[in-house]
Amino acid sequence: MTEIRKNELEGVLEIVPKRFGDDRGFFSETYNRKVLKDAGVDLDFVQDNHSYSARRGVLRGLHYQLPPFAQDKLVRVVKGAIFDVAIDIRRSSPQFGKWHAIEISATKWNQFLVPKGFAHGFVTLEEDTEVIYKTTDFYSPEHDRAIRYDDPTIGIDWPLGADELQLSPKDLRAPSLADADIFD
């Protein structure tokens, strides 16, 4: 059965589906809406995204979308490994600015649920890493935002040094949390 693990950030979950294996390989039910709903996670996913990163050290994030296109995300790795981070960016939240990270990998077969109101980002820990994630709303360029990965007020302890990272121009230009357009 699927294991659901909570942490210090309300709503951010690690989900570990069961794998059934034998000498042929394995089978796993990676998503079951009823199982999640029975655990109190009632989400309607409408889009799947797949990202491939050729190099170790590719950092994507910290991304989010503003309402009315805010997204919950269910992230999993099908090849390789990532250090995955969720940051509470709801100004009214007692957890505002706090972050939680886990390693997600094809070997661990775990997933990360990032709720609306959280920025999300990851760095690849292995070459040729593939990440698949479900979202509860469609991509909207007008509502797409980012926050700097190295904002000292957030203080994410990335497992790789800045000289090992590769970021997009968009992510390098991202504002700090204090200057970002975020949730109330």
Select which of 52, 133, 139, 143 is catalytic: 133
Instruction: Verify whether residue 50 is a known catalytic residue.
Output: no
Task: Single out the residue of 17, 21, 13, 51 nearest to residue 35, CA to CA.
Answer: 17
Query: Regarding beta strands 73-79 and 81-88, do their DSSP bridges make them parallel or antiparallel, or are they unpaired?
Result: unpaired
Select which of 63, 64, 100, 149 is catalytic: 63
Q: Which positions ≥6 away from 125 have C-beta within 8 Å? A: 56, 80, 81, 82, 83, 103, 105, 159, 160
- Residue 4, classed as helix, strand or coil, is strand
Instruction: Verify whether residue 31 is a known catalytic residue.
Output: no
Q: How far apart, in whole angstroms, are the C-alpha atoms of residue 144 and residue 70?
A: 9
CB 158 within 8 A of CB 76: no
Residues with active-site annotation: 63, 133
